[in-house]
């Protein structure tokens, strides 16, 4: 899901070459607006609030996955 959101925000991004622990913001040359669009899209897709204080946890595929998993309620 995170890769899909990135693809929506950065069309044509080569996510296959992106390491799970690599900063996608740097690798995909995302500017501040791109990153904000990613955060908003991720929040919309997951239904989770993503406060600015947590943005540092949203810079790699693994850290995003860990962040979302740790805040997603289990049923």
Q: What is the pTM of this model?
A: 0.90
pLDDT band at 73, cuts 50/70/90? confident
pLDDT of residue 53: 96
CATH of the domain at 55: 1.10.1200.10
User: What is the tens place of the pLDDT at every residue in 24-34?
Assistant: 999 999 999 99
pLDDT band at 13, cuts 50/70/90? confident
SS (HEC) of the chain? CHHHHHHHHCCCCCHHHCCCCCCHHHHCCCCHHHHHHHHHHHHHHHCCCCCHHHHHHHCCHHHHHHHHHHHCCCC
Count of domains for the chain = 1
pLDDT of residue 75: 63
**Domain of 17?**
2-71
């Amino acid at each position: 899901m995170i890769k899909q959101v990135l693809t929506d925000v950065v069309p044509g991004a080569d996510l296959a070459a992106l390491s799970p622990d690599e900063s996608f913001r740097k690798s995909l040359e995302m500017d501040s607006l791109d990153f904000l669009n990613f955060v908003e899209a991720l929040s919309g897709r997951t239904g989770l609030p993503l406060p600015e204080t947590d943005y540092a946890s949203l810079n790699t595929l693994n850290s995003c996955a860990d962040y979302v998993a740790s805040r997603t309620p289990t049923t």
